[in-house]
A and B are shown apart, each in its own frame.
Chain A
């Protein structure tokens, strides 16, 4: 199980790194919204893996909350996007 933890940690670190690059480069705010959503999902994936490896359920409420926070965040931001350059 420790080997699986190392593999998953490495994969998630690379994924988070690539997502943060898109978060920095993103030409518009909508790309940044999507990248933030993916970053939140990577965090909740890391919480799931921590729970699975250590066999506890302490973080499960944070996984549900991450879904709700990502939903509210992306809906709110995309509601107020305007037609501007470099918005």
Chain B
């Protein structure tokens, strides 16, 4: 009885984890620009991997494997924000985004202030009329 219940819970976790990957795939294809595609790509990174690892732990039914599963999830949890930050920062500074999709843009004032300071120190700047990259 208990085995059946645990099997059903593990099956539900597996299917939900796979649906997270499907959501990421659909979002990658349907969303308009880089930042919203990054939003879609984080779905299987944290919750999807957690559901699949929890299903694995439930199905193996041993406490020995739980620290290894936690390690796999925590490594993903630590590395995902760093790489997302790097990709988002590079995408912002190389203008791979549609500005009309943004609600607020707090980085724009910081970048403008840094550009103004650099212009005051170095004379005129060379890259004042760059256009946005839009696919």
Contacts and interface: CB of A to CB of B under 8 A. Distances in A.
A48 B52 contact: yes
A49 B14 contact: yes
Interface string A50-66: 01100101001001100
Interface string A22-66: 100001101101110110011011001101100101001001100
Given A57-B65, A75-B83, A75-B86, A41 B21 contact: yes
A48 B60 CA distance: 12
B72 A60 contact: yes
B15 A8 contact: yes
A37 B83 contact: yes
Interface of B: 7, 10-11, 14-15, 17-19, 21-22, 24-26, 28-29, 34, 37-38, 41, 44-45, 48-49, 52-53, 55-56, 59-60, 65, 68-69, 71-72, 75-76, 79-80, 82-83, 86-87, 89-91, 93-96, 127, 130, 133, 135
A55 B44 CA distance: 22
Interface residues of A, number: 49
A43 to B, nearest CB: 10
Contacts, number: 161
B15 A67 contact: no
Nearest to A7: B15
Contacts of A71: 79-80, 82-83
A18 B32 CA distance: 15
Contact of A41 (B38, B44, B59): B44
A14 B135 contact: no
Contacts of B75: 64, 67-68
